[in-house]
């Protein structure tokens, strides 16, 4: 089985860390191919970043369709371009926020999210509503660290995340914590040891869900809105996408 794990930003170091975390939990025989777009934001911290990155996600799925790809993971907690990506393939496409929410509800009745910036916390709240998990989440907390601080100053960023997780444990009346950024994928074990609660991280959760769907023979439905796009002409810099679809 091959799973293409797409980091929607263009920071190669983060892509490598995400890929390593994914491979650590993958079953024997599962190959993880971690990729990122060639163009787009170096980090994703707002709605504008998400819109731009979604094109790169779609192009990474199209690239995967030319290879032997069994499933895809969109490894950004905003799940940018998730439904568009599902339109482009029959293979399962899993967003890490949606995966983490599902996993958290299987091991606890209430969870909190600890993310990077307050404004991305608002995006997480939108996703909770959209996916139907709002009543399971007690609070969305922000460590107030830019995403790239996870690359540039890992220890200081990790300490801030742990502090916020400990506050969530003490104040939120929860059973688990969801980490709200794909760039935290390599920090899970240490956070779990320091906090003493189940810590759900979306990249690894998404890999296991993707493996399960493939093993069950479940594909993305092509009946209704997730059918392939109708091929059409695109102009300007998107001319390369002309004819995309079924």
Split into its structural domains, the chain has a count of 2
The angle formed by the CA atoms of residues 220, 224 and 32, to the nearest 5 degrees, is: 15
Residues 118 and 91 reside in one and the same domain: no
Domain annotation covers residue 224: yes
117 with 196, same domain: the answer is yes
Give residue-wise pLDDT tens across range 190-227: 999 999 999 999 999 999 999 999 999 999 999 999 99
Confidence of residue 154 (pLDDT cuts 50, 70, 90): low
Residues 67 and 147 in one domain: no
| Residues 124 and 82 reside in one and the same domain | no
Mean pLDDT for the chain overall: 96
Which of 29, 49, 47 minimizes the C-alpha distance to 39?
49
Q: Tens digits of per-residue pLDDT, 11-21?
A: 999 999 999 99
Residues 225, 213 share a domain: yes
Are 81 and 114 within one domain? no
Residue 21 · residue 190 · CB < 8 Å = no
**Cα separations (Å) of 173 from 35, 42, 117, 138?**
38, 35, 22, 8
DSSP 76-145: STT-TTHHHHHHT-SS-EEEHHHHHHHHHHHH-S-EEEEES-HHHHHHHHHHHHHHT-GGGEEEEEE---
Domain that holds residue 220: 2-95+205-241
Residue 69 has pLDDT above 80, yes or no: yes
The answer to whether residues 65 and 37 belong to one domain is: yes
Same domain, 118 and 50: no
Flag whether 246 is in a domain: no
Residues 87, 209 within the same domain = yes
Q: What is the pLDDT of residue 152?
A: 75
Percent of the chain with pLDDT over 70: 99
Would 185 be classed as within a structural domain?
yes
Residues 179 and 124: beta-carbon distance below 8 Å: no
Would residue 216 count as lying in a domain? yes
CATH number of the domain at 141, please. Answer: 3.40.50.12500
Residue 153: its pLDDT value, please?
62
Q: What is the mean pLDDT of residues 149-157?
A: 80
pLDDT tens digit sequence for 156-197: 899 999 999 999 999 999 999 999 999 999 999 999 999 999
Using the predicted structure, report yes or no on whether residue 109 has a pLDDT greater than 70.
yes
Q: Do residues 103 and 83 both lie within one domain?
A: no
190 with 102, same domain: the answer is yes
Label residue 151 by pLDDT band (50, 70, 90).
confident
């Amino acid at each position: 089985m091959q799973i293409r794990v797409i980091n929607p930003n263009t920071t190669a170091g983060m892509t490598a860390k995400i890929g390593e975390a994914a491979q650590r939990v993958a079953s024997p025989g599962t190959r993880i191919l971690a990729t990122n777009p060639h163009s787009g934001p170096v980090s994703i911290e707002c709605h504008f970043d998400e819109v731009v990155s979604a094109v790169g996600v779609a192009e990474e799925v199209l690239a995967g369709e030319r290879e032997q790809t069994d499933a895809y993971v969109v490894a950004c907690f905003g799940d940018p371009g998730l439904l568009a990506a599902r339109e482009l393939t029959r293979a399962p496409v899993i967003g890490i926020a949606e995966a983490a929410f599902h996993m958290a509800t299987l091991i606890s009745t209430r969870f909190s999210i600890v993310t990077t910036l307050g404004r991305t916390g608002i995006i997480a709240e939108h996703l909770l509503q959209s996916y139907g998990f709002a009543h399971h989440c007690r609070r969305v907390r922000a460590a107030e660290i830019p995403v790239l601080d996870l690359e540039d100053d890992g220890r200081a960023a990790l300490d801030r995340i742990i502090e916020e997780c400990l506050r969530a444990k003490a104040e939120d009346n929860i059973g688990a914590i969801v980490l709200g950024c794909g760039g935290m994928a390599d920090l899970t074990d240490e956070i779990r040891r320091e906090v003493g609660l189940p810590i759900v991280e979306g990249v690894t959760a998404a890999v296991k869900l993707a493996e399960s769907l493939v093993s069950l023979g479940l594909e993305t439905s092509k009946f209704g809105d997730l059918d392939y796009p109708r091929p059409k002409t695109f102009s300007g810099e998107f001319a390369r996408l002309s004819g995309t679809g079924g």
